[in-house]
Amino acid sequence: MTSKTTSATFFAAVITILTMTVPGHADSVGVASYYGKEMSGRRTANGERFNPAGLTAAHRSLPFGTKLKVTNLRNGKTVVVRVSDRGPFARGRVIDLSYGAASAIGMVGLGTARVKIARLEPR
């Protein structure tokens, strides 16, 4: 990679991270996956116990407690989740959903789905 390409890639990543942390500017599109029953009862990164039926998510950088509206782009179904964990750790994924959230947007059978993520304003 050239120096210009490396710099451009770095700045694009910084802009993405910054826009994901400003309320109302967290719209992004990418691949979601989910985790479920095998993690039941284990502690998440914020210290709470994971409930597969809950409407929670793992995100790499958003603060714990952030509410996100996740839309499955294939079928238009949406769910509101709360960030309670860190991840995903699989390359190419933008968010990991709990089994309950994945089920709500119809992605359990497929395992992954292209989604739109929008950060909701605190109430």
**Residue range 3-119, CATH number:** 2.40.40.10
Query: Is the distance from CB of 35 to CB of 100 less than 8 angstroms?
Result: no
CA distance 89 to 12: 20
pLDDT of amino acid 10: 45
pLDDT digits (tens, 9 = 90+) for 17-44: 444 444 444 589 999 999 988 889 899 9
Strands (E), 36-111: 56-58, 67-72, 78-85, 93-98
Say if residue 8's pLDDT is above 50. no
What average pLDDT is seen over the chain? 84
Q: Is 118 in a helix, a strand, or coil? A: strand
Domain boundaries, the chain: 3-119
